[in-house]
């Protein structure tokens, strides 16, 4: 297994994910057949000493009866063990969680106030845990940095009054759901790492041996959370610099009235400094400006579009493009094989090995191939595999990815990293918990996930427009800057703001494939004239608007359409002709009672975006301007 894994890691191949998934299935199955909760608990008990308090744990009864625990300290729900609350029982020995790994329903463990010794139990073996209470024992030693790695459900960690030493483990800072952390009364030393989880409500690190500044993210915590550490400083405790005799005064130009050589010299000095600073700023500005211009020039000189004979549209529309034969730029460099290229320096926290080792979950098979969700250090990322990008040379590919990676706009999902291999590419972006617009429009709904109401839909439509507009201004050389806009490529963040995804890929996708699958090539102009234009994304935007207003899944998204006339635009047109416009709107959409006028206004804009004749179709800026004028109306 070790050898096999090593080989796979060295030469990652397309099957690696399946291998990992098979492996996880295997573990899952083997663990669920490995024996009942009862066996697991009894062996765990045997591994402890002084277990008199656990005399009710006996093989002749079940640990649970419905929601009640038959065994002391066992918390149950619906016949399965959900928690262990072994507190104040005088238990001794070391805690080996390997015995409990098979108990997948276990959400909480408490061993508080016993006499356990030894190192921190290997808590991440129980990856599903929500809370861990180990306070008031004699656990000791350093906690490994990655002790809490990948525990994305963990909310509460209580380690108060033990003998832990060394640094506060960094993996605690990456727990996405952490709400309460108590480390007080140990011997932790070094600096407090930066906890930036918004979920963290309560933290106590008092009575340790910590030093250095308290990270700003914790400055709002109660000051008693930090007491008893001699060398901590910064908010909410005292300031970090020892108070000077004369508090520092911001430099200012002395009053002009004062004369004398000394003050003149001071003025000269200050002026010189100011001038130098100004020059430095100007230089930085000019350099960055030049760089950007160079980037654009470069972009025009060597477009990354690599095309094959199937390109029918190239000649007539968009900026001039140069046709290159693939491979002219491909100089496979051994050292770069198997490397993950990060587009955001601060995100380079994992490498390809971590990615391949991370637990992967198939999210679905999208247009281009499967996508996977991988969890690395409780960062959830989405990895998409593309096999249809192999006509692009290495340098062109790198350049295009860097360009996509440089885009920052609140309505664009940033590309985090990519992996290049001739026959396969991986693109890595963040996982967006709230899912796609398509899911919200067409998925099953319940109380947690109500149908999107009208104000939300309008906000999303406006946000999509902003994202598109930013793509158009930053990728001016692309004919269709997005190219694949549809509701499954619009993700929604926690505040239901849209994030566009899968944008700017037309230059790197093999053309025959793109023409078969991508939204831009489903436009009327491509069907009629075999070309796409700068207004093609506007058509996709229009379809999206109609989809959101009607709640209907557009036939236009399908690869094999049964009836080309049965598309959303025709349907809406037909309904308008029959004077049944009010029946067009999604009947489940709330908040529309007094907004009929606005709904119709937006419907008309959507229709103008879908105008078959490219000449009369709105362009992007016109569409956005008109949409900005639509408001929610007097919603109820």
Ligand X SMILES: *[C@@H]1O[C@H](CO)[C@@H](O)[C@H](O)[C@H]1NC(C)=O
Binding site for ligand X (CB under 6 A): 78-79, 88, 90, 113, 184-185, 204, 206-207, 222, 224-225
Nearer to ligand X, 79 or 166 (CB): 79
- Token pair, residue 542, equals 């229009």
Nearer to ligand X, 178 or 307 (CB): 178
Nearer to ligand X, 79 or 435 (CB): 79
**Smallest gap from residue 629 Cβ to ligand X (A):** 50
Q: At what angle do helices 596-609 and 454-474 cross, to 10 degrees?
A: 30
Strand partners for 189: 209
**Smallest gap from residue 85 Cβ to ligand X (A):** 12
**Smallest gap from residue 90 Cβ to ligand X (A):** 5
Question: What CA–CA distances, in Å, run from 295 to 344, 432, 503?
Answer: 18, 30, 19
Show Cβ contacts of residue 27 under 8 Å, excluding neighbours closer than 6 positions: none
**Smallest gap from residue 220 Cβ to ligand X (A):** 12
Nearest residue to 154 via CA among 435, 375, 378, 374: 378
Give one word for 591, left, alpha or beta, with left for phi > 0 and alpha for psi -120 to 50: left
Nearer to ligand X, 137 or 510 (CB): 137
Question: CA-CA-CA-CA torsion for 237, 242, 246, 250, nearest 10 degrees?
Answer: -70
**Smallest gap from residue 79 Cβ to ligand X (A):** 6
**Smallest gap from residue 218 Cβ to ligand X (A):** 11
Neighbours of 55 (CB within 10 A): 10
Question: CA-CA-CA-CA torsion for 217, 223, 229, 234, nearest 10 degrees?
Answer: 50
Q: At what angle do helices 620-629 and 454-474 cross, to 10 degrees?
A: 150
Strand-strand pairing, 80-85 and 424-430? unpaired
Q: Could you give the CA distance from residue 478 to residue 303 in angstroms, rounded to a whole number?
A: 9
**Smallest gap from residue 162 Cβ to ligand X (A):** 12
Nearer to ligand X, 236 or 530 (CB): 236
Q: Is 29 helix (H, G, I), strand (E, B) or coil?
A: helix
Nearer to ligand X, 236 or 295 (CB): 236
Q: Could you give the CA distance from residue 296 to residue 293 in angstroms, rounded to a whole number?
A: 5
Q: Is 28 helix (H, G, I), strand (E, B) or coil?
A: helix
Show Cβ contacts of residue 191 under 8 Å, excluding neighbours closer than 6 positions: 210, 211, 212, 213
**Smallest gap from residue 95 Cβ to ligand X (A):** 17
Q: Could you give the CA distance from residue 494 to residue 488 in angstroms, rounded to a whole number?
A: 17
**Smallest gap from residue 278 Cβ to ligand X (A):** 47
**Smallest gap from residue 549 Cβ to ligand X (A):** 38
Nearer to ligand X, 214 or 438 (CB): 214
Nearer to ligand X, 110 or 470 (CB): 110
Strand partners for 374: 360, 381
Nearer to ligand X, 93 or 326 (CB): 93
Nearer to ligand X, 203 or 545 (CB): 203
**Smallest gap from residue 225 Cβ to ligand X (A):** 4
For residue 308, cis peptide bond before it (omega within 30 degrees of 0):
no
Q: Could you give the CA distance from residue 139 to residue 165 in angstroms, rounded to a whole number?
A: 10
Nearer to ligand X, 50 or 58 (CB): 50
């Amino acid at each position: 297994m070790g050898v096999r894994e090593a080989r796979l890691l060295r030469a990652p191949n397309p099957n690696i994910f399946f291998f990992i998934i098979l492996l996880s299935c295997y573990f899952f199955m083997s663990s669920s057949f490995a024996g009942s909760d009862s066996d697991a608990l009894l062996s765990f008990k045997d591994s402890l000493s002084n277990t008199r308090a656990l005399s009710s744990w006996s093989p002749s009864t079940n640990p649970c009866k419905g929601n009640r625990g038959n065994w002391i300290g066992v918390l149950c729900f619906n016949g399965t063990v959900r928690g262990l609350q072994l507190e104040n029982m005088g238990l001794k020995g070391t805690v080996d969680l390997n015995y409990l790994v098979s108990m997948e329903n276990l959400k909480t463990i408490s061993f508080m106030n016993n006499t356990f010794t030894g190192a921190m139990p290997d808590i991440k073996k129980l990856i599903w845990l929500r809370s861990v209470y180990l306070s008031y024992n004699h656990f000791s030693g350093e906690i490994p940095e990655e002790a809490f790695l990948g525990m994305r459900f963990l909310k509460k960690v209580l380690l108060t009054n033990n003998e832990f030493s060394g640094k506060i483990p960094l993996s605690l800072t990456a727990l996405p759901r952490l709400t309460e952390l108590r480390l007080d009364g140990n011997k932790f030393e070094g600096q407090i790492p930066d906890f930036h989880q918004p979920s963290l409500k309560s933290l106590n690190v008092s009575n340790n041996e910590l030093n250095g500044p308290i990270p700003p993210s914790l400055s709002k915590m109660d000051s008693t959370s930090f007491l008893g550490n001699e060398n901590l400083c910064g908010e909410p405790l005292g300031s970090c610099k020892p108070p000077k005799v004369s508090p520092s005064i911001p430099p200012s130009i002395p009053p002009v009235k004062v004369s004398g050589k000394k003050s003149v010299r001071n003025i000269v000095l200050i002026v010189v400094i100011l001038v130098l600073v100004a020059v430095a700023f100007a230089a930085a500005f000019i350099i960055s400006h030049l760089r950007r211009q160079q980037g654009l020039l470069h972009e025009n000189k060597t477009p990354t579009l690599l095309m094959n004979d199937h390109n029918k549209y190239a000649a007539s529309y968009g900026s001039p493009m140069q046709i290159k034969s693939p491979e002219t730029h491909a100089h496979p460099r051994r050292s770069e094989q198997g490397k993950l290229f990060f587009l955001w320096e601060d995100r380079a926290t994992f490498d390809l090995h971590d990615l391949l080792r991370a637990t992967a979950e198939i999210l679905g098979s999208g247009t281009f191939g499967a996508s996977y969700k991988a969890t690395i250090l409780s960062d959830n990322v989405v990895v998409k595999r593309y096999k249809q990008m192999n006509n692009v040379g290495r340098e062109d590919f790198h350049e295009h990815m860097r360009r996509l990676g440089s885009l920052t706009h609140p309505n664009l999902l940033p590309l985090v990293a990519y992996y290049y291999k001739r026959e396969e590419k991986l693109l890595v972006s963040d996982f967006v918990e709230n899912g796609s617009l398509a899911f919200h429009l067409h998925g099953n709904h319940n109380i947690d996930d109500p149908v999107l109401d009208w104000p939300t839909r309008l906000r999303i439509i406006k946000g999509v427009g902003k994202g598109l507009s930013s793509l158009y201004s930053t990728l001016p050389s692309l004919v269709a800057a997005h190219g694949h806009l549809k509701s499954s490529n619009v993700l929604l963040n926690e505040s239901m703001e849209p994030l566009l995804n899968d944008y700017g890929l037309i230059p790197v996708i093999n053309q025959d494939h793109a023409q078969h699958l991508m939204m831009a090539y489903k436009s009327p102009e491509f069907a009629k004239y075999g070309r796409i234009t700068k207004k093609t994304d506007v058509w996709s935007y229009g379809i999206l608007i109609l989809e959101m207003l009607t709640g209907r899944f557009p036939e236009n998204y399908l690869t094999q359409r049964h009836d080309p006339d049965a598309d959303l635009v025709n349907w809406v047109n037909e309904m308008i002709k029959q004077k049944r416009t009010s029946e067009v709107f999604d009947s489940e959409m709330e908040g529309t009672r007094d907004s009929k006028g606005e709904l119709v206004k937006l419907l008309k804009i959507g229709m103008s975006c879908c105008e078959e004749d490219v000449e009369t179709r709105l362009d992007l800026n016109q569409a956005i301007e008109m949409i900005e004028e639509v408001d929610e109306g007097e919603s109820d």
